[in-house]
Each structure stands twice: as structure tokens, then as C-alpha cells.
Amino acid sequence: MSTTRTGTSCVDAARLGILLNELRLPTIKVLWPQFAEQSDKEGWPAGRFLAAIAEHEIAERARRRIERHLVEARLPPGKTLDTFDFDTVPMVSKAQVTALAAGDGWVGKGANLLLFGPPGGGKSHLAAALGLALVENGWRVLFTRTTDLVQKLQVARRELDLEAAINRLDRFDLLILDDLAYVTKDQAETSVLFELISARYERRSLLITANQPFGEWNKVFPDPAMTLAAIDRLVHHATILEMNVESYRRRAALERKRAPGRPPVHATAKTVVE
């Protein structure tokens, strides 16, 4: 490049590259020559040049952090708030969900969100979409089927590692437990779930989806006292959304039937995914 006419010529670029590596400033390393050229051409004060490249380094760092958090969140693909049709769940307002997606009002405080409703009503979709928005807003999230996590915690308990395993989950501001009601106490030792709920109480948030309201949770926990104690902790600081709507899939199928030859707006993408 035209290094001879610019300030880059009076610098040992190779040496500077090594220094910037050492300082772990990869974005500045890549961007400084073009910024230096512009800065020389336009006669920027040195402070402006420094501020400009520092801003880029910070922005790129934030982008990479979010990228890492997206990978670790293990969100199901394609479930976003943009593709969530709020018209089908009139009891859930878009404004409320938008506020929840910021996270400050609840994730920052270790409060919980509980989504109830029959199968197909969009609980998992909404949970995943909220998870995605929260990651984009800087929170750390893990999405997991409740049964999968319970199994992992049971293994940890057997290896006398339960406390450490629960502590490791502390790095997530929000843990999304999808389909709590599918966990049954026949799977033995669901008390690990209770221990998780207790450990996170008032410190780290949980988002739980369940087909069954609390009345049926006796099937999940080993005894009624533990069920009550779990519910008590979960609801103490919680937003509860009851999504009592008809299955989105069934609705889409019915719409297709009613208007043959003219595919309904919602059906296409969703049915392909399944």
C-alpha cells in the first residue's frame, strides 16, 4: 500500500504487529494501517486516531463474546421473536415479551419466568427466542431439555460432584429448562432438580416451560413437601405466562385444509422444520 506517503512509513510495522499481538489487540493490528493513512491524510489529532481504533477493538470483542455465548447457549435454531406470531397468543403481549428480552428487570435479579400451556402452543419457541434476544443483549444463557439436565445432574451426584456441577451452571445468568413436566420421578432422584432450584433461588434465573400447571408437579418431585418447596422458590420472584392456546401446528394444518392450493402464511417454514 501507499505506506511511503503516510505515517505508517515511519513505524516498524512488523515490530508493531508483535506488540499488538502481545497486548492481544487483534482488531487494532488489522485496522491500524488504514486508520493511520486516513488520519494522516485528514490531519486527525493523535487522540482521535487512538480513540477510533480502540472503539473498533472493543466493538469486535463484544461481537466475539456474543458469538461464543450463542454457541454455548445451545438454542434450537430458527426460533426468534421476529418469527413468533403474537396474534395466536393474545394473553402474551409483545410489549411484555420485549421488556423481558432486555433482561434487566428479571435476569439481573435472579427472578424466574414460567411458561405454561398445552403442547404446540409455542412455549419452547418463545423460550428459545427470549434466550436468543437475551444473549444478544449480553446475558449468558443455557437452553436444555429438563430431562437431559436432570440426567447429567444425576450422574454428577453419583460421582459425588453434584454441588460443583450446580456451581458450574452459575456462569449462566439464565437456565432455560424446557418441558419440566416430562420429567417424572420414575426416573429416580429428581431431587437433583430441587437442589438446582434451591441453589439458584434469588441469585440466578430459571425459565421453565411445562405442559402441566403446578397441580401436576407432584409427578415430578419425590414427595409433596419437596414439590411445594420447589414451587414456593420458583414463584417467589416470577413472571408466569399461561399460554392456553390451540396447538400452532394443528392450527396451521387446519388452515391448509381450509384453503387448498393457497398455502397459509404461517405453515410453510414451521412444517419444514419439524
Phi and psi dihedrals of 12, rounded to 5? -80, 95
Q: Is 116 in the site for ligand ADP (CB under 6 A)?
A: no
Minimum gap (Å) between residue 252 Cβ and ligand ADP: 7
Q: What residues contact 259, with CB distance under 8 A and at least 6 apart?
A: none
Q: What is the CA 197 to chain-centroid distance, rounded?
A: 18
Size, binding site for ligand ADP by CB under 6 A:
19
Interface with ligand ADP (CB under 6 A), residue from 119, 138, 224, 263: 119
Q: Which secondary-structure segment (H or E) carries 144?
A: strand 141-145
Stretch that binds ligand ADP, among 81-89, 139-147, 166-174, 183-191 (CB under 6 A): 81-89
In the complex, minimum distance from the CB of residue 241 to ligand ADP, in angstroms, rounded to a whole number: 11
270 binds ligand ADP (CB under 6 A): yes
Name which of 84 and 172 has its Cβ closer to ligand ADP: 84
Q: Does residue 131 touch ligand ADP according to CB under 6 A? A: no
Per-residue binding string, ligand ADP, 194-213, x by CB under 6 A, is ---------------x----
**Binds 237, which of ligand ADP, Mg ion, none (CB < 5 to 8 A, cut-off by type)?**
none
Cell of 95: 410489549
| Dihedral, CA of residue 222, residue 228, residue 229 and residue 230, to nearest 10 | 70
Question: CB within 8 A of 200, min separation 6: which ones?
Answer: 110, 169, 170, 175, 206
Which position among 57, 121, 139, 141 is part of the footprint of ligand ADP (CB under 6 A)?
121
CB of 134 to ligand ADP, least distance (A): 17
Distance separating alpha carbons of residues 28 and 31, to the nearest angstrom: 5
| DSSP H helical ranges for 23-169 | 26-42, 46-73, 94-102, 123-136, 146-158, 162-168
Q: Which residues bind ligand ADP (CB under 6 A)?
A: 79, 83-85, 88-89, 117, 119-125, 209, 248-249, 270, 273
